A and B are shown apart, each in its own frame.
Chain A
Amino acid sequence: MGTLWMIVRRSLRQHALSTAVTVVSVALAAGLVMSVFAVSKQTRDAFTGGEIGYDAVLGARGSPLQLVLNTVYHLETSPGNIPWSLYQSIKNERGVTAAVPYAVGDNYRGWRIVGTTEQAFAEQQFAATNPGGRSFDERYPEAVIGAEVARKAGLTVGSKFSPYHGLIFKESEKHADVYTVVGVLEPTNSPSDRVIWIPIEGIFRMEGHVLRGTGEVYEPATGASIPDEHKEVSAVMLRLGGRTGVRLDQTINRQGTVATLAYPIEKSMAELFEKMGWVVKVLELVAYLVVVVAAGAILASLYNTMNERRREFAILRALGARKGTVFAAIVLESSTIALLGSLVGYVIYAAILGTAAAVVRSQTGVVMEVTDVHPALWWTPAGMMVVGAIAGLLPAFKAYSTDVAASLVPGS
C-alpha cells in the first residue's frame, strides 16, 4: 500500500494543474450535494422546530400558513382581521393559558410594527446594552423594539420615530404620530428581533386608521375610549394547555366559519415544506447530475494522461510491478482525487450554508443551526470516493493493458 501511495502522490504532484482542476470540479459537486441535503433539512428544522413561544394562532378565515407566516415570521400580509369579541372569548376559553392580540399593518423604514399588549414580551429580557429599558405603557405612544431593529435602524432607548402606513416602506406614507422607544429586547435569534412593538391601542388610534369591528367604518376620536365592538385584531397568539388545541381545532376550523386556528403552528410550516418538496427533489437531481459531470472530469483527466504515462507504467512493470498494482494505483489515484475534492467540498458547503443562513436570518430573523451535522457530510465523501473509483476503472484498464516492451522505447 505504501508503494501505491508513493506512486499516487507523485502522479498527483506531477499533474498538479489537471489534478487541481479536477479536484475543484469534484469539490463543486460534493459541496452541492452536501448543501442540498443539509441546507434543506436545516432550513426546514429552523422553520418547524424552533421555539416559537405559542402553540396556536387565531386569525381571519383563510390560510393557516398565511396566518403563521404573518404573525410568527412577520412575513406576507395578514389574511384579514377578526373582531375584538373573538379575542375576548378565546382568552376566556377553558385551557387557553395565554392570549396575546396582534394588530399589524404599519412599518418603520421597512421594520414591521405590531400592536399588542405587554404580555407579548412579558417573558423577555431587556438588553443590558440599552440600560433603563422597560415595557411600554399601554396608555402612551411608546415602543419596545427587537434587538436587530435597534442595531440596524439605529434606535435606542429614548429615540423617537413616526410609523409609516403599510408593510412596505414609503416615505409618503408617514403617520403624524410620534413614538418613543422605551425598551430594547435582548436578542432571541427569532423573527421577533426584527419587530417594533407598540400598544395595540396605538394601532387603533394611528392617524388615518379606521376600525371595522362591527362591519361599519369607525374612526376613533382623540381622548375618547373606543367601544370594544369597534375594535378588531389581525390575530391572537395562543398558549394552550392539555388537549385544548385539538378541541379548538374541531370547533373553530371544522365547525366554525368565522375564523381560522393555525394549530399546531409547526404543522403549517411543515406543510409548506411538504409543498416545496419537489423543489428539493429537483435540486437533488441537479446535484447528482453534477456528480456525474465530476466523475466524467476525473475519467477524462486521468484518461488524457494515460498516453504520456504509458512509459511510466511500462517502467513500473519492468521493475517488477504486477499488472494489478498498476491498475490499483490508478483506481487509488482517482479515489484520492475524489476524496481531495470532497474535502475542498466542505469549504463550498460551508460557504453555501453560511450564505443561506445569513440570507434566511436577514430576511426572516430565523436562525439556522449551522453546526448541526447532517449525515450527508460523511456519506457524500464516501460516495464520491466510490464514484471516483468507478471513474478510474477505464483509465486503470488502459494502464493495465500497457504493452510493456513497446512502451519502454523512448517516444513510444
Chain B
Amino acid sequence: MALLEILNLTKGFRSPDGSVTPILDVPSFSLDAGAQVALAGSSGSGKTTLLHLIAGILTPDSGSVEVDGTSVHTLSESKRDAFRARNIGYVFQTFNLLGGFTALENVLLGMTFGPGADREFAKSLLERLDLADRLDHRPGQLSIGQQQRVALARALANRPRLVLADEPTGNLDRKRSSEALDMIREMCAEQDAALLLVTHDSDALAKFDTTMDLTDVNRASTAFVDRSVN
C-alpha cells in the first residue's frame, strides 16, 4: 500500500528575464508505508525542491502529491500546514533548530503545531537519542551531532507517517554520519514511519536496501534541450 504517491509533478522557477527554468518533472513516484528509500542526487538536481513539494512547503506547477490518501496540494495553505505538522517529519541538512529554544523546547514546539505538546514523549525521544542531560541546552551549546539528534527527535515527535530527510548527514564526519543514519533508520522503523532520504553521499546510500537515482525519477534533471518554458 503506497503511503506517498506522486503523479506528473512539475516545478519550475522564474528567472529574472521572465523565462521559467524547469527544476522538477516527475512522472510518477511512490513510497510504501514503512519503507525506507534513499534518493541519490547531486547538488542542484532538485532534491530539496522535491521534498518541499512533498511536504507542501512549495506548490507545484502541475501534478499531484498524495500522502496517506490526502492530496496535499488541494488543501488550503493553513490546512496544508496542519497536515504537514501531523503527518510529515522533516530533517533538514542544517537541522534548522531554533537558536533561542532549548533542545526540549525545540521538540515541544514542533509538537504544538501538530497533535499537541507531549512533554513526556518529547523527553523520552531525546533520552532515547542519548540527550537526557542536554534537554535544557540551547543549540549553540550542543555539538553538531547532538543538534542533529535533536532535529531527528523533533521530526519524529508527532509520530509522522512519513519522514523526509534532506542530506541529514551533510554536516557530519564519516563516523558520525554513519551513526546518525543508523539512528534515523532505526527510529523510523520503531515508529513505523516511511523514510525518504535524499543525499549525494555514497556512504549514506550504501546503508539503504532501496536506492534510486534522482535522474531516473526527475526528467527535468536529464533534459538537455532548451529548458525555458514560456
Are both chains from one complex? yes
Q: Interface of B with A (CB < 8 Å)?
A: 48-49, 52, 55, 57-58, 77-78, 81-82, 84-86, 90, 92, 94, 96-101, 105, 109-110, 112-114, 154
Within 8 Å CB of A325, what residues of B? 113
Would you give the shortest CB distance from A285 to chain B, in whole angstroms?
40
A317 with B78: CB separation less than 8 A: no
B98 with A321: CB separation less than 8 A: no
What 0/1 readout, one digit per residue, does chain A (312-330) give for beta carbons within 8 Å of chain B? 1011111111111100000
A315 with B100: CB separation less than 8 A: no
What 0/1 readout, one digit per residue, does chain A (396-412) give for beta carbons within 8 Å of chain B? 00000000110011100
Q: Interface of A with B (CB < 8 Å)?
A: 2-3, 6-7, 10-11, 13-14, 311-312, 314-325, 404-405, 408-410
Contact residue among B49, B77, B105, B110 (Cβ-Cβ distance under 8 Å from A319): B110
B78 with A320: CB separation less than 8 A: no
Contact residue among A10, A409, A410 (Cβ-Cβ distance under 8 Å from B98): A10
B81 with A321: CB separation less than 8 A: yes
A6-B109, A320-B86 known; A405-B58 Cβ under 8 A: yes
A322 with B100: CB separation less than 8 A: no
Would you give the shortest CB distance from A290 to chain B, in whole angstroms?
31
Within 8 Å CB of A320, what residues of B? 81-82, 84-86, 110, 113-114
- Measured CA separation A410–B170 after assembly (Å): 13
Would you give the shortest CB distance from A319 to chain B, in whole angstroms?
5
A324 with B86: CB separation less than 8 A: no
- Measured CA separation A317–B98 after assembly (Å): 12
Within 8 Å CB of A13, what residues of B? 100
Closest to A9 in B: B100
A6-B109, A320-B110 known; A410-B94 Cβ under 8 A: yes
- Measured CA separation A329–B89 after assembly (Å): 23
- Measured CA separation A157–B216 after assembly (Å): 109
Within 8 Å CB of B85, what residues of A? 319-321
- Measured CA separation A312–B97 after assembly (Å): 8
Beyond A312-B99, A320-B86, 9 additional contacts (C-beta under 8 Å) are A6-B109, A6-B112, A14-B100, A317-B57, A320-B84, A322-B78, A404-B57, A405-B52, A408-B52
A312 with B57: CB separation less than 8 A: no
A319 with B100: CB separation less than 8 A: no
Within 8 Å CB of A404, what residues of B? 57
A3 with B109: CB separation less than 8 A: yes
- Measured CA separation A178–B100 after assembly (Å): 76
Within 8 Å CB of A318, what residues of B? 55, 57, 84, 90, 92, 96
Within 8 Å CB of A314, what residues of B? 96
Please list 18 pairs of residues, one from A and one from B, whose beta carbons are closer than 8 Å in the complex, sorted by A's number: A3-B109, A3-B112, A7-B109, A10-B105, A13-B100, A14-B99, A316-B98, A316-B109, A319-B85, A319-B113, A320-B85, A322-B113, A323-B81, A404-B57, A405-B57, A405-B58, A408-B96, A410-B94
- Measured CA separation A409–B100 after assembly (Å): 19
Closest to A10 in B: B100
Contact residue among B57, B81, B109, B110 (Cβ-Cβ distance under 8 Å from A322): B81
Within 8 Å CB of A316, what residues of B? 98, 109, 113
A318-B57, A319-B113, A320-B114 known; A11-B100 Cβ under 8 A: yes
Within 8 Å CB of A3, what residues of B? 109, 112-113
Would you give the shortest CB distance from A51 to chain B, in whole angstroms?
57
What 6 A-B pairs have minimum CB-CB distances, sorted nearest first?
A320-B85, A320-B113, A10-B100, A14-B100, A3-B112, A315-B96
B82 with A322: CB separation less than 8 A: yes
- Measured CA separation A11–B99 after assembly (Å): 10
- Measured CA separation A229–B81 after assembly (Å): 99
Closest to A3 in B: B112
Within 8 Å CB of B55, what residues of A? 318
- Measured CA separation A410–B97 after assembly (Å): 12
- Measured CA separation A317–B82 after assembly (Å): 10
B92 with A324: CB separation less than 8 A: no
A319 with B78: CB separation less than 8 A: no
Would you give the shortest CB distance from B108 to chain A, in whole angstroms?
8
- Measured CA separation A317–B80 after assembly (Å): 11
B105 with A6: CB separation less than 8 A: yes
A315 with B57: CB separation less than 8 A: no
Within 8 Å CB of B100, what residues of A? 10-11, 13-14
B98 with A312: CB separation less than 8 A: yes
Closest to B79 in A: A322
- Measured CA separation A386–B138 after assembly (Å): 33
- Measured CA separation A396–B49 after assembly (Å): 27
Would you give the shortest CB distance from B60 to chain A, in whole angstroms?
12
A323 with B96: CB separation less than 8 A: no
Would you give the shortest CB distance from B209 to chain A, in whole angstroms?
29
- Measured CA separation A255–B99 after assembly (Å): 83
Would you give the shortest CB distance from A310 to chain B, in whole angstroms?
12
Closest to A321 in B: B113
Within 8 Å CB of B92, what residues of A? 318, 408
